[in-house]
Structure 1
């Protein structure tokens, strides 16, 4: 029902109320079950037919429900006279307006090699993983139903996002002019999938300056694995002779997440305020040697 609401909003340039839709559906299911009926939900096909027939207000849905009730109670003998084959044309129209025909061109562009796309002037390519998810959802819809297909699509998209996020983590290394301080600036999401790539970005701490500052600029800690990675970094530098280890510029949400288990971080200096803004000091920045790794 909520997917149908989103589609109808796009067609009518309106903004529906998802909470009201869910409440109405739940109330209708409850009343239907109380009187021995079978529950239902909004369907895309009938909604599209209604919109393309000019019905775009609440009156159209009320009229449709009223006529459906009349057909079931008194007019079913007349409906039985209509040949089933005559409904095929109606279904073709519903299918025509339901399918997003431009998506076929997008899928084709995603499957073609880059040289072929450039030669043919096709510039509608999206990520191949998106097209694969699209095809999986279509297949699951045909085999099972739309609800299961949506759930499968969400799971697949989440897995792809997790995989892609692991490659977005990066680290920049900067050394002070005196060579006695090192600054590591981390960017990207820090979670279970990016912990191992992040740890591999740090050089051997035995050859690094003993005053260490790790700056979480444009970075966010999302889960327990991310917090454990911070503690592991602290222990790595501490065990190799670091005299000062500070974690700075943690986001407010990341700092709040760590504060909930602050007993685990005793002895670790971490701040969400800007204790030192390296980029703001032109003298330091101009003499720093910066390395970028990802």
Structure 2
């Protein structure tokens, strides 16, 4: 059911190609060093990272229903992958875990586990986007000045090289390469100014940036501005088709019953699925057409992708917000942009690895800095502030938590804070009341909300027993409520007895009938069943009377 359009990548849309083709080049340029950096940090072969990016583009995007999401190796999985490879003892055994993780994700898609993605509050998702933007800026600044101690694409606050985000910035100030800095500044200027010229917009600004950066890098050779060797992209260079085939590694199927392999598989599947759902929700937020991606289909697509990656020697993948946001900012319209970026990665490895290895990281850092600013635009902070503290505080907390920990931990903290405000609002919105003053005292009418749960019990109890003494007539109206929790009904009934003993007039409207009717559908079915039973009884009685 999910794969009916699996071959759609062979049929490109001419209408959207003029947008998707330039965007795919931008995503390719961003994804290339990220694939390599994440593979290196994960303790996997460099080719494994590129292979995962290729599969994430061509395979996952073909099965996915998301138009703008781009998949590939994710920085959030590096620690898990590195630990799994070391614990399982062999890379081939680890690949078996990746294959099984993909199968688990396919099952999650089939059983519709993607619905979890619908329960992330908007304030947390927007906060996550802003946090990713800030992280991109903070993490790319060292690469922008030629300090490449951390791998390209690292996102966690505590880095694998024993530094953290801020200490890396401090150390970068003492190790500035002026050649890299010049390349980055010129690249940023082009990225900002190039789109303002209508005639030049046909050529993607990032492509111009890369070509110019390669030229400057070559021109700086032999001078004080020369770049360090480790400041250039490095992908495997293959001399023949046979050598290319030799880059692939295959899983050890004899380990399929290994308990540790299954533990690693479930761990990868759950974390990769959560990251994917978060990324998908975030991409939908920045989609200019406000399309809604089918989450269950995405889990299915990710499962197919991870199974394929494991079978060929790749590492686990997710939908990645950095690549996806670069796709949106570059003007991508449909999933063919992601598919094309996968094709460019494949062609780069096979045909022009020597040319790709001339690209300085400084110009790629500039592309990401530009993307990061758009994600963490000051306007988003201003917009959230105007929505009120119940939206702004979870937004800010999510940003801080993501920046100072990692994506999943930060979002988890943001969710807890958002849930606090959701519960708080739920408690205060259980009812509304209206007071009519009269000569003998006052009449109050409580109108209960559409849904009254046990969470509202305390607020309702406090409001009822805290009524002023002058109120001598009370009406509690539950006729508009679809559901009233039994605990709340018990509180109301107890209060009714209490009010009667004090000589007050009290009327319950639509409360008693709700006691055993938590669901309107069930209530309707009960009425229909009773009506059918009555008709059957009447018919039976009539027949018996006629016979007599």
Instruction: Report the equivalent of 2:305.
Output: 28
Distance 1:253 1:147 in 2: 41
Are 2:401 and 1:140 equivalent residues in the alignment?
Answer: yes
Tell me what 2:448 maps to. Answer: 187
What TM-score do you get using the length of structure 2 for normalisation?
Answer: 0.36
Q: How big is the shift at 1:142? A: 1.2
Residue in 2 aligned with 1:3? 281
Q: Which residue is 2:318 aligned to?
A: 41
CA distance in 1, matches of 2:466, 2:362: 75
Decide whether aligned partners of structure 1 residues 152 and 51 sit closer, same or farther in structure 2, where only a CA change above 3 A counts.
same
Corresponding residue number in structure 2 for 1:131: 392
- Measured in 2, the distance between the counterparts of 1:60 and 1:251 equals 59
Question: What is the alpha-carbon distance in structure 1 between the residues aligned to residue 456 and residue 314 of structure 2?
Answer: 51
Alignment of 1:63 onto 2:325: no
CA contact (8 A) 1:213 1:247 kept: yes
- Root mean square deviation, CA, Å: 4.2
Runs of 4+ in 1 over 6 A off after TM superposition: 173-176, 204-209, 251-254
Give the secondary structure class of the aligned counterpart of 1:142: helix
State the match for 1:267 in structure 2: none
Superposition map of 1:99-114 within 5 A:
99-106=376-383, 110=385
Alignment of 1:160-175 (within 5 A): 160-168=421-429, 169-172=431-434
SS in 2 for 1:231: helix
After superposing the two structures, state which structure 1 stretch, 231-240 or 90-99, moved more: 231-240
Q: Which moved more, 1:148-157 or 1:248-257?
A: 248-257
Aligned to 1:170, the other structure's residue is in SS state strand
Structure in which a larger fraction of residues adopt helix: 2
* Aligned pairs (5 A) from 1:1-294: 1-7=279-285, 10-72=287-349, 75-106=352-383, 110=385, 125-168=386-429, 169-172=431-434, 184-188=445-449, 190-202=452-464, 214-219=476-481, 221=483, 226-238=485-497, 247-249=508-510, 256-257=517-518
**How many angstroms does 1:64 deviate by?**
0.4
Q: List alignment gaps of at least 5 residues for structure 1.
A: 111-124, 263-294
What are the superposed Cα offsets for residues 17-41 of structure 1, whole Å, 9 maximum, x if unpaired? 3333232122212332344421212
Corresponding residue of 1:275: none
Bigger strand share: 1
For residues 512 and 305 of structure 2, what CA distance do their matches in structure 1 show? 44
- Residues 103-143 of structure 1: per-residue CA shift (max 9 Å, x gap): 23346xx4xxxxxxxxxxxxxx3312322211111112212
Deviations 1:230-286 (Å, cap 9, x if unpaired)?
A: 1133234346559x9874335999863279xx9xxxxxxxxxxxxxxxxxxxxxxxx
SS at match of 1:185: strand
Give the 3 Å change call, closer, same or farther, for CA 97–204 of structure 1 in structure 2.
closer
Q: Could you tell me how far apart the structure 1 residues matched to 2:447 and 2:391 are? A: 28
Q: Counterparts of 1:2 and 1:198 in 2: how far apart (Å)?
A: 39
- Secondary structure, aligned partner of 1:57: coil
Once the two structures are overlaid, the 10-residue window that deviates more, 40-49 or 58-67, is 40-49
Tell me: higher relative CO, structure 1 or 2? Use CA pairs within 8 A at least 6 residues apart. Answer: 2
Partners of 2:373 and 2:379 lie apart in 1 by 12
> How does the TM-score come out when normalised to structure 1?
0.62
